[in-house]
Structure 1
């Protein structure tokens, strides 16, 4: 007996790709839907859909209702999975199609609600991340949780690395999720006393605060901004610099300087900065308008010992 193609994935990010491939290998993938303006995702999905023989819907926000009505009319439809899909599913569509729409949230609910739980999990130095599959309801990220899987969050994980780990985790949990849905599992209500909602990161969120952040905190922020923001912002001599990769130095100075002060810059030891609470940080990689480079190469810009980076 051949598996029935009964799953639709709505996506907007590479994080959905492993799940798309797994669903196809299981014979369950019917349709991929994605926003028209996302050229990178559209390029992958167009080629994959053509080779796999699955349906592809390139969606426009103003026509979202029309697209969704087309999807729910699929005769074999069992579920619609949203994975990083940017648009809210209209309430009337959800009400007319109960137990159909489920969201893969790439963070632990209810503690990590919001636009980018990967960024917040790393920035806040959480010890674990994970995926929460929940029913889509009227309120964003508040539906009953059908399945939650955790993933240890290492201190050296960048945003990109965690996204990759979570994308494969999403594909691995599909068989278990299908079992729960087949058993008509309605999930568990989220504990609102634990709920936290984080808005999309602003420039303030991705900027280093030298006067308040120690080396560990800055490292977490830098990792959370790599690669999607090309690093965390700082400024020197009117030049915007993004710090892309750093490492902590365990020894402290005998006489602490003002946080943000350059303690050393040379090819042998790199670029070493004084941070808050008498902690030190080596800046390994930076990004400027001139390109990606090692931290010590800021010597060419005139940066020298004793100068200070500024918070934006």
Structure 2
């Protein structure tokens, strides 16, 4: 298998043109494909996106689903156009659970078989000339990268929001967590519970949250809010 490493998105069409592709399948690629690359394959370019489009367009759909406390998520395969995640939908499927303790490994075990199944169906539809179904832009939302302030816990937020904040960091990788102050000490918060558990209870905007796992941390560049 050849590995192509163009220096920029503008070089993609040139790098791919020698292969005379019939179809290009994209998954987890962060560059916007230029028009020249989109026009290259005779069956077009399709993308695998881990949300039920038009919700959560953008580079971080799973993180935002966890952050927002969604009970489940989905996968969409769509035609690519000149914008991010706006092309016609070929097929999509939801109902993939996002457990409270979801990790990249556990989600991959659930989502990979779905992607494999949907991709087979999508390929069959593409070669028959199926144009796909236009997205409803009025239902669209954008899932960009987390803002810098998301790395600090504000105890004035709701317990559920903070719990989902910690879940989002935990999904990013083992040992990841937002920073917060507990009893005047800066810590990295690794796990929390919205129900009574062994740990430190902190009163948030709407009720208590139990911090069940944390490690000492250096203070951030700017102080964040202390627990009430």
TM over 0.5: yes
C-alpha distance in 1 between matches for 2:2 and 2:44: 18
- Structure in which a larger fraction of residues adopt strand: 1
TM-score of the aligned structures, taking structure 2 as reference length: 0.82
Higher relative contact order (CA 8 A, sep 6+): 2
Q: 1:238 to 1:136 in 2, by over 3 A?
A: farther
Answer whether contact 1:270 1:283 (CA < 8 A) is retained. Answer: yes
Match of 1:68 among 4, 9, 13: 13
Residues 56-84 of structure 1 deviation map (CA, whole Å, 9 limit, x = unaligned): 22x1433x443432323324x33211111
SS at match of 1:137: coil
Match of 2:206 in 1: 277
| Superposed CA offset, 1:11-65 (max 9, x none) | xxxxxxxxxxxxxxxxxxxxxxxxxxxxxxxxxxxxxxxxxxx2222x1433x44
Following the alignment from structure 1 to structure 2, what is the Cα–Cα distance between the partners of residues 227 and 154?
11
Question: What's the CA shift for 1:146?
Answer: 0.8
Contact 2:13–2:36 under 8 Å retained in 1:
no
Q: Partner of 1:198: helix, strand, or coil?
A: coil
For normalisation by structure 1, the TM-score amounts to 0.62
Alignment partner of 2:92 out of 133, 148, 151: 148
Partner of 1:221: 165
Q: Give the C-alpha shift of residue 231 in structure 1.
A: 1.7
The verdict on how the C-alpha distance between 1:284 and 1:168 changes in structure 2, with shifts beyond 3 A counting, is farther
Counterpart for residue 55 of structure 1: 2
Q: Secondary structure at the match of 1:217?
A: helix
Q: How many residues align?
A: 219
Deviates more, 1:234-243 or 1:122-131: 234-243
Match of residue 243, structure 1, among 186, 189, 200:
189
**Residues 93 and 108 of structure 1: CA distance in aligned 2, closer, same or farther (over 3 Å):** same
Please tell me the root mean square deviation across aligned C-alpha atoms, in Å.
2.7
Secondary structure, counterpart of 1:114 in structure 2:
coil
- 1:182 partnered with 2:127: yes
Secondary structure of residue in 2 paired with 1:132: strand
Mapping 1:1-312, distance limit 5 Å: 54-57=1-4, 59-62=5-8, 64-75=9-20, 77-97=21-41, 99-160=43-104, 161-214=106-159, 216-228=160-172, 230-236=176-182, 240-249=186-195, 269-278=198-207, 280-289=208-217, 310=226
Deviation at 1:104, TM superposition (A): 1.0
C-alpha separation between the residues in 2 aligned to 1:159 and 1:228?
Answer: 8
Query: Which one is further off, 222-231 or 155-164?
Result: 155-164
